[in-house]
Amino acid sequence: MKKIWLSIVTVVLCMPGWLQAALTIEITQGIEGAVPIAVVPFATIGQPAPENVAQIIAADLARSGRFAPTAEQDLIARPSEVAQVRFQDWRTLGVDSLVIGKVESLAGGQYRVQFRVFDVFRARQLTGYSLPASADNLRHVAHRIADIIYEQLTGEPGAFATRIAYVISESRNGEKQYQLQLADSDGYNPSTLLTSQQPLMSPAWSPDGRRLAYVSFEKGRASIFVQDIGTGQRSELASFAGINGAPSWSPDGRSMVLTLSRDGNPEIYRLQLNDKKLTRLTRSAGIDTEPVFAPDGSSIVFTSDRGGSPQLYRMPVAGGRAQRVTFEGSYNASADFSPDGRSLALVHGEGGRYQIATLDLDTRLLRIVSDGRLDESPSYAPNGSMIIYATETGRRGVLAAVSSDGRFRQQFSLREGNVREPVWSPMPKSR
Amino acid sequence: MKLVKTVAVAMVMAWIAGCSSTGGTKGGDVAVEDRGAAEGAYEGATTTGVGGYGDLSVESLSDPNSPLSQRVIYFAYDSSEVAEEDRPLVEMHAAFLAANPGVKVSLEGHADERGAREYNIGLGDHRAQSVRRMLELQGVAAEQVSTVSYGEEKPAVEGHDESAWAMNRRVELVYVGY
Amino acid sequence: MRQHPRPFIYALLVHLVLLAVLIFSLDWTSTVKPSTSRKHAPIQAVAVDARQLDAELQRKQQLEEQKRRAEQDKLKRLEEQKEAERKKVEEQKRQAELKRKQEQEAKRKAEAEKKRQSELALKKKAEAEKKRTEEEARKKAEAEKQRKEEEARKKTEAEKKRKEEEARKKAEAEQKRKQEEARKKAEQELQARLAAEQAREAAQRQSAMQRMVDEYVLYIQEKVQRSWIRPPSSGSELSCTVEVRLIPSGEVIDAQIVRSSGNPAFDRSVEAAVFKASPLPVPPDPDVMEQFRSLRFEFKPGAA
């Protein structure tokens, strides 16, 4: 009897593991990097599709800087059905998520694209869709799938199924030719809106994504036009004496701010679109230009050298006192607001180099995010995750995109000619 | 008061005399035209003329040897101030324009490729305005002068170094129709 | 109204008449009528002359007055009677009391005399007795004294012997006890030394275990931090707690978010971190490993 009691007592005393609270470990830092993801080439059912959907998706995810898709040659298997997936293998590969899919050709040049996204650790599906497509919108469908995956895994909306506009200039037979073009956010599928023998500048998207305003020298001097993207119809918005430049739309689409020198000096004006009423907003002897609206429509940021060198200033939309917002470096210009209104992307010149930087308007922290010598024209993606800008490689102007924290950069080698002044479209309203 | 008047007249006379006796330092042509009624007729008008600007007829515009063939003024980085050494050139063009009130000139302002494009449009404009002010001060009528800025969009020299940039920071005097 | 004045006036008149009729026909008094009391017997009404009534009244009043006075006299007389009676009774009582008191006094005196006499007789007796007993006592005491002396002598001798014996025994016992004590002490010391050593060993083991725990906590922390790809847009105010179960090899077999950060991308990155860090470095000592079977990670990037 005694022995039994003894053993019971001993056992009880040896159970501290059960009775103690679990050991707690604090994790206070991680690493910066892109999340590994495997995007398996989609299986083809029927006729092969004209586009490699998985490749478009992987390239989009990589360009955002948030994901590191496994190189195709390193994929350990090519499943296209959930039954074919052995999660243990993917865990060994070290990826967090897995994307598989199929592209099925249907009658009449139509396709059906199916995809699924899996959490590799928990071996369960996170999302999956089936989308219809045609041969000429297959790229767009692939971008939409990339948006869905991006939003599922990061919690933020994706901006891959969006467009960019830019100016491209080429020399043909000693003559310069300028074009205003639209393309997908990855630079593919270009279409030309306007061709001119004289310079084109400063394209600006309307908030509904249906029109572009731009500066054209086709009359021998600068004029601002607004062109409907769908119909190609355009109207002249401003053609005053002197400069007509830097058009920018208000968030409600009802007015614009622009630069005019009709009173003798480049100043900022606000133009109401319905009645063409013009209000002058700046009155300095210096150059005041490049005005942009804040996303909440309450203020304007612009470039001015009233202090001696170009810096960024902020003023209420109704006009009034302008407050300087950039204090680092001798050259700060070309501001673009982030969609949440809390940061600016800008051109920052220092030590003979011109680079893209972001300025946090709350903390005043300036961070350089590009590394060229003559970078210009930054434009935020409509989800705030990336910034597109113009840079030069060798002798050509090309476009590049950088994640908004500066971690991941990529150049687009699009086509011949000098590409510049990219602007990213707003989010499509259908979402 | 009488003393001041006398002195003033004397000074003017001396100045006129001095003018008529200076040689043409810039001019090349011998034939010279009267500067115009505004200055009044004076004795001793020589073929070297006023300030030595040479021929100010419209034909000299197409003469490659005429000093008027120099039609570009250059600027320092981020500056729209006409340099001292360029003033005489501007003055000469001013003289020409003043002598030929029917001639119009377009001042085209430019900037080098560095920095923001629209800001460079503003720089080009400031440079053109600088030259315009100087012309108007020299007596050129406002209707004769128009300005336009091309910013960095029409470089004279394609290149990505200071030698190219220096050649692009300029104002060009474009005589309309010539 | 202006166009047809006559009909209007007629109409007005009719209305006024109707109104008057209405007013006067209505009973404006309260509809509640006071009810007659049913308690009294019906009253016989008789015609009376006012003056006669007065004389009658006066006569009545006089009669009543006389009655009242007679009554009052009666009462007065009764009262006087009572008073006389009472006084008589009181006198009687007083007399009786007096008599009783006298009798008591006589008794008391007689008793006191008796007592005195008896006391005297007793005294005499007592004296004689006393003398006798004194004599006896003296004799007794003498004999006793002798006896006692003899006893005492004997006692002291016996006592001496006993004490010697006791002392001897005590000494012997003391020696034994000391020996015993020494032995016990030695044993205790041994045990104490053993215990101390055990305790020291246990403490050493404890601190060694603790050191091992700390060491492996560091290893695990490092590995998890290296495996955690932190979402870039996460602010430093996000934090998340995940509970992880390990098997002895250190492999993570389950991870549960017990406190979400509210941001699904952040939560997922935390899960990915612990799974990617698996197998976690765990102590080789199975006792220490027990503490690592269930781990709780608190991801708090802002706390750095």
CA A125 to chain C, closest CA, distance in angstroms equals 14
**Which chain C positions have a beta carbon within 8 Å of A407's beta carbon?**
232
* pLDDT-wise least confident of B8-12, B77-81, C147-151: B8-12
Query: Does one domain contain both B33 and B112?
Result: no
pLDDT at C125: 87
- Last residue of one domain, picked from the residues B54, B70, B86: B70
A185 contact partners, CB below 8 Å, separation of at least 6: A60, A143, A159, A160, A161, A162, A163, A164, A381, A424
Are B20 and B104 contained in the same domain? no
Residue of A376, A398, A420, A421 to mutate, interface with B, max B Cβ within 10 Å = A376
Q: Which residues of chain A have pLDDT under 70?
A: 1-21, 413-414, 430-431
Domain ranges, ordered by start, for chain A: 11-21+162-424, 27-154
Query: In terms of CA atoms, which chain A residue is nearest residue C275?
Result: A121
Q: What distance in Å separates residue A329's CA from the closest CA in chain B?
A: 13
Do chains B and A touch, with touching meaning 3 or more CB–CB pairs less than 8 Å apart?
A: yes
A311-316 and A299-304 as β-strands: parallel, antiparallel, unpaired? antiparallel
A397 touches chain B (CB under 8 A): no
The residue from B70, B89, B115 where one domain ends is B70
The total number of structural domains in chain B stands at 2
User: What tokens appear for A77 in the block?
Assistant: 């298997």
C273 has a pLDDT exceeding 60: yes
Is the domain of B107 the same as that of B176?
Answer: yes
- Same domain as B46, residue B5: yes
Domains A11-21+162-424 and A27-154 share a fold: no
Residues B44 and B56 in one domain: yes
Sequence-ordered list of residues with C-beta below 8 angstroms from that of A396, at least 6 positions apart, any chain = A417, A418, A419
* B29/B89 same-domain check: no
As a whole number of angstroms, the distance between CA A333 and CA A312 comes to: 6
Q: For domain A27-154, which architecture applies?
A: 3-Layer(aba) Sandwich (3.40)
Do B44 and B87 reside in the same domain of the chain? no
User: B75 and B62: one domain?
Assistant: no
Three state DSSP letters for chain B: CHHHHHHHHHHHHHHHHHHHHCCCCCCCCCCCCCCCHHHCCCCCCCCCCCCCCCCCCHHHHHCCCCHHHCCEEECCCCCCCCCHHHHHHHHHHHHHHHHCCCCCEEEEEECCCCCCHHHHHHHHHHHHHHHHHHHHHCCCCHHHEEEEEEECCCCCCCCCCHHHHHHHCEEEEEECCC
Which residue in the block uniquely carries the two structure tokens 């308007």?
A: A361
- Domain stops at, among B44, B70, B96: B70
**B60 lies in which domain range?**
1-70
Class of domain A11-21+162-424: mainly beta
* CATH code: domain of residue B167: 3.30.1330.60
Chain B: touching chains (3 or more CB pairs < 8 Å): A
DSSP A31: B
Q: Do B118 and A222 count as a contact with CB atoms less than 8 A apart?
A: no
Instruction: Let me know whether B27 and B87 are in one domain.
Output: no
**ipTM of this predicted complex?**
0.89
Residues B37 and B104 reside in one and the same domain:
no
- pLDDT of A70 reads 96
The verdict on A308 touching C (C-beta cutoff 8 Å) is no
Q: Are residues B65 and B111 in the same domain?
A: no
CB B167 within 8 A of CB B74: yes
pLDDT tens digit sequence for B113-134: 999 999 999 999 999 999 999 9
Contact B160/A290, CB-based, under 8 Å? no
Question: B26: pLDDT confidence band, cut at 50, 70 and 90?
Answer: very low
Identity of the highest mean pLDDT range in A104-113, C17-26, C92-101:
A104-113
Question: Same structural domain for residues B142 and B158?
Answer: yes
Nearest CA of chain C to the CA of A9: how many Å?
Answer: 18
Residue in C with minimal Cα distance to A36: C229
Q: Which chains touch C (3 or more CB pairs under 8 A)?
A: A
- Cβ neighbours around C27 below 10 Å, total: 6
Closest listed residue to residue B175, CA positions, set B146, B153, B155, B152: B146
Using 50, 70 and 90 to split pLDDT, how confident is the model at C82?
confident
Q: What 8-state DSSP symbol labels residue A34? A: P
Query: At B37, is the pLDDT very low, low, confident or very high (cuts 50, 70, 90)?
Result: very low
CB of A121 within 8 Å of any CB in chain C?
Answer: yes
Contact check, Cβ <8 Å, B147/A392? no
